[in-house]
């Protein structure tokens, strides 16, 4: 479903992308849609060759695409080397999320007397801002959210509804925290005495850099001693677990259900696919990509794409392969004996 809250012209769209176009610049554009579903008042985009089959029949008012496909486009086109980035830039023009934030404190909010609110900050209904908190200019604290004591939020940061920022957390500028995420909860630290567990107090904090986004239901635990550190421009999807004292470098991205155990370091410009698991105390260098559902148990010191696990297959075939997997060690030993026998017999 595409929402249209205002209308732009094709010329407006082209100016926003800073690209030339062909066609009628006065054509009204009221939203974005897929190649297959777009109508004459919508812009579509082609960033994946899998959808090239839909280009010839599109009814879009214009299409954002790579110059290589321009000659195949039957409607006005906007050519970019990175069409997906163009789509991302246009999406903000038609974002249906309401922005009705009123600066100030809602009567149903609770704000400590010594909390400091920057110019234009907004604290919505049923939010709680505890003692010693500093909110930068333009910060929005959504309904039901909690900001713990002595936390600092940089300018332009937005907490959606029901976000929990625990005590002593430092958050940079223009950070977005989606509903239900928890920043600065206790890390998973316990010592066993042979009969039961003893909790280890988590004495560190969490530091988020600028332009970070954290998806709904994700948790970033505070450090046991030092801080858990998330670099600038890191994008974290929903249902992600980041344990105590993890460090993630600038511009990295984590897809849904990633789990990172304690004290692991992830470099800059890394990408972790959905369901990836990283064991604790590892290091991933800059530029590492790990494909979905992979388990990483050793440090990675060279950039590149890494995978583990197997793709889905018919169950009967998987069961056969599982049996073979159990036999691999015995097969390897037998192969080694055969090679030794062959080499010995050849002398």
Q: Which residues are catalytic?
A: 244
- For residue 295, give both structure tokens: 């388990």
Q: How far is CA 163 from CA 76, 126, 141, in A?
A: 43, 12, 9
SS3 185: strand
Cβ–Cβ < 8 Å for 33, 39? yes
Cβ pair 69, 55 in contact under 8 A: yes
Give me the torsion for CA of 143, 149, 150, 156, rounded to 10°: 0
Task: Indicate the pairing of strand 8-9 with strand 28-29.
Answer: antiparallel
Q: Is 94 helix (H, G, I), strand (E, B) or coil?
A: helix
For 304, residues 6+ apart whose C-beta sits below 8 A from its C-beta are 287, 288, 289
Cβ-based neighbour number of residue 321 at 10 Å: 11
Using alpha carbons only, what angle is made at residue 339 by residues 334 and 344, rounded to the nearest 5 degrees?
A: 125
DSSP class of 72 = G
- φ, ψ of residue 10 to 5 degrees: the values are -60, -35
Residues paired with residue 183 on neighbouring β-strands, in sequence order = 165, 220
């Amino acid at each position: 479903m595409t929402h249209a809250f205002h209308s732009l012209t094709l010329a407006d769209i082209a100016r926003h992308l800073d690209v030339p176009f062909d066609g009628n610049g006065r054509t009204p554009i009221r939203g974005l849609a897929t190649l297959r579903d777009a109508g004459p008042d919508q812009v579509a985009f082609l960033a994946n060759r899998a959808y090239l089959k839909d280009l010839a029949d599109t009814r879009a008012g214009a299409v954002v695409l790579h110059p290589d496909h321009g000659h195949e486009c039957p409607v006005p086109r906007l050519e970019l080397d990175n069409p997906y980035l163009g789509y991302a830039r246009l999406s903000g023009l038609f974002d249906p999320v309401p922005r009705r934030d009123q600066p100030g404190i809602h009567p149903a909010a609770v704000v400590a007397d010594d909390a400091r609110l920057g110019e234009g900050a907004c604290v919505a209904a049923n939010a709680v801002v505890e003692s010693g908190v500093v909110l930068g200019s333009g910060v929005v604290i959504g309904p039901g959210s909690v900001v713990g004591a002595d936390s600092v939020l940089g300018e332009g940061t937005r907490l959606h509804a029901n976000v929990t920022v625990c005590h002593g957390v430092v958050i940079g500028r223009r950070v977005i925290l989606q509903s239900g995420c928890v920043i600065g909860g206790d890390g998973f630290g316990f010592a066993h005495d042979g009969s039961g567990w003893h909790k280890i107090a988590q004495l560190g904090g969490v530091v988020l850099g600028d332009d970070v986004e954290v998806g709904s239901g994700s948790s970033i635990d505070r450090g046991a001693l030092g801080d858990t550190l998330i670099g600038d421009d890191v994008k974290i999807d929903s249902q992600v677990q980041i344990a105590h004292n993890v460090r993630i470098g600038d511009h990295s991205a984590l897809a849904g259900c990633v789990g990172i155990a304690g004290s692991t370091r992830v470099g800059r410009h890394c990408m972790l696919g959905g369901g990836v698991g990283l064991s604790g105390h590892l290091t991933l260098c800059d530029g590492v990509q790990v494909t979905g559902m992979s388990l990483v148990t050793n440090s990675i010191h060279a950039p590149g794409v890494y995978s583990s696990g197997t793709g889905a297959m018919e169950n009967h075939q998987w069961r056969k392969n599982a049996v073979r997997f159990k036999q691999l060690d015995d097969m390897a030993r037998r192969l080694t004996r055969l090679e030794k026998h062959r080499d010995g017999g050849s002398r």
